Amino acid sequence: MKNEDFVILQLLEETDCLDRERTLVKGVPFHQSGAGLLGREKARPLVLHPPPGGFPPVFAVPELAFYCFTEAARQACEQAGLKGLWWRPQQ
């Protein structure tokens, strides 16, 4: 079966960049919260440390249940007309 209208992305490498002290889950630092995997709305704020060399365009963080995209990757996906992606800006 072939469907050129559907693409799935699977990342095999993870980027260990979550700030476990400054990322809060219900007001408690992640490392004290007992949380294992964070969904889209669980962490407020979500704080990431840039890895050496900077973030790749698309990356997976071990503690997150979603992939992260840089602004350049977001723009490329929009220009390509990809659908089904959820964007939440981080500071």
| pLDDT single digits (tens) 22-56 | 999 999 999 999 888 898 778 889 999 999 999 99
Q: How confident is the model at residue 91 (pLDDT cuts 50, 70, 90)?
A: low
Q: Is the pLDDT of residue 74 over 60?
A: yes
Quickly count: other Cβ atoms within 10 Å of residue 35's Cβ: 16
Check pLDDT > 80 for residue 6.
no
Q: How much is the mean pLDDT over the chain?
A: 88
Torsion sign across C-alpha atoms 7, 13, 32, 27: negative
Question: With a threshold of 0.85, does the pTM exceed it?
Answer: no
